[in-house]
Amino acid sequence: MKANSEQNSVNPRPRYKWELLALLFCTFFFHQGDRAIFGVVLSAIKTDLHLTDSHLGLVGSVLFFMLALMMPVAGYLGDILNRKKIIIGSLLFWSMATMCTGFAGGLVGLIIFRSVATAGGESFYAPAAYPLLASHHTRTRSLALSIHQSSLYLGVMATGFLGGFIAQQWGWRSAFFIYGAGGIGLGVILIWRLLDAPPPATPTEVKRDSIWQALGVVFRSPSALLLTTGFTAIVFVNNAYVVWAPIFLQEKFNLSLTQAGGYAMFYHHLAALAGILLGGWFTDRMVRARPFFRPQLMSVAMLLGVPVIFLMGASGSLLATCTAMAGFGLLRGLYEANTHAALFDVISPRHRASAVGIMTMLAFLIGSLSPWLLGRLRESHPDGRGLGYGFSALAGAYLIGGLAVLLAAIFTFKRERCSDDASEKPLASH
């Protein structure tokens, strides 16, 4: 009853927290769909623009590197500015950049529109959206964040088939035009329906922290650093997968562009969708009796993913490879159901956007290297086995990440866990 009264005081629309979830779900669909298009139409872009594998990997790496650089600023602004305006501005900016990617005439154009401009828009979404969603969902936090995260998988799955179909019918440029226009249309709806976010604290209640104090919150929390290590492993593998998995299937099993994009994105992300929804629902129930269940589940999921990812690159049959991709997706979903909920367990509400920004920055700085590294492996092994070696080697990242989260679950998480009612004192007084 108290949660409902608090919710109604924030906005005039009953059950707005579920409308908010629906709006952000659709926004994140385009966020990830726009990002996945590049991998789906990669071979068409390479042929049309006469690029090398290193060039294509570089475009992906620059995108993720630029996302990393922008994240600290995006996180700090997400804690102090109007989150509605940040989310809408982010959506409109990256959607326009996606449309402009369709006009690229070479490597420089792809880097400017696909990597730099798109990253400039996308980077501001997550630090504002995740804390906003968490502030409206307390007892249903893991479920709400999981449903929101599931739009990532739906967006990538839909793009795997739809992007490949559009590219085959009307050319790869049309895929960027259509997705960009869809995001701009959604932005108009958000202007109308999205409500302003309540500030974490009023100026009269607490002195605003400096940007260095706010952004340092992750570095003062051992649990947050260990969770960031796990998230970095997730991002490192996911970045390589979304860029190179369609090409990996296409060249290894002689598939069409539509088949390769569909298989690579569908089986993996369908299983991830099931994993994240199951993980979010199950965690919200388990955490009431076992407050430290989130990092325990996350570490188990990553460690089980080590042999599955290795088999994904080493398997010699299409069925076994797709099965491994699905298994990898299921375990990834179980982990990602708790990525931000676990972080918010050890970070106070007023610093969560900053924490998301720093965690994402560190993860993407390292994760930006994986597309380029796999591109180099593909070039250095002309027999076609380079990507297989690369995907198998990605299992090592999951091993490191799983052990880091396990350490947090055993040694640090219990003493650092805080509630949404924790004191809102400035960081300087800690």
128-149 pLDDT per residue, tens:
898 888 877 777 787 888 899 8
d(CA 87, CA 32) in angstroms, rounded, equals 15
| Model confidence pLDDT, tens digit, residues 39-70 | 788 888 888 998 887 888 788 778 878 888 88
pLDDT > 90 in the chain, percent: 43
Tokens of 252: 């290894």
The pLDDT of residue 421 is: 52
* CA terminus-to-terminus distance, the chain: 33
d(CA 236, CA 415) in angstroms, rounded, equals 29
pLDDT > 70 in the chain, percent: 90
**DSSP label of 117:** I
DSSP 126-149: HHHHHHHHHHH-STTHHHHHHHHH
pLDDT band at 5 (very low <50, low <70, confident <90, very high): very low
**DSSP label of 408:** I
The pLDDT of residue 208 is: 63
Pick the more confident residue, 384 or 430.
Answer: 384
d(CA 374, CA 379) in angstroms, rounded, equals 9
Burial class (CB in 10 A: 0-12, 13-18, 19+), 269: buried
Q: Does residue 211 surpass a pLDDT of 50?
A: yes
- Average confidence (pLDDT) over 113-119: 84
- Average confidence (pLDDT) over 177-196: 91
Domains assigned to the chain: 16-198+208-419 (1.20.1250.20)
Which CA distances in Å does 411 have to 172, 207, 292?
50, 33, 11
Q: Which of 198-202, 273-277, 328-332 has the lowest mean pLDDT?
A: 198-202
Q: Does residue 228 surpass a pLDDT of 90?
A: yes
pTM for the whole structure: 0.77
The pLDDT of residue 201 is: 46
Sign of the Cα pseudo-torsion (188, 12, 2, 214, in order): positive
Q: Does residue 202 surpass a pLDDT of 50?
A: no
d(CA 73, CA 29) in angstroms, rounded, equals 23
Q: What is the dihedral of CA 417, 420, 421, 423, to 10 degrees?
A: 70
The pLDDT of residue 196 is: 66
The pLDDT of residue 207 is: 57
Q: Which residues contact 4 (CB under 8 A, 6 or more apart)?
A: none
The pLDDT of residue 422 is: 45
Q: Does residue 324 surpass a pLDDT of 80?
A: yes
pLDDT band at 429 (very low <50, low <70, confident <90, very high): very low
Q: Let me know: does 150 contact 162? Beta carbons within 8 Å.
A: no
Q: What angle do CA 47, 182, 259 make, to 5 degrees?
A: 40
What residue type is 6 in one-letter code? E
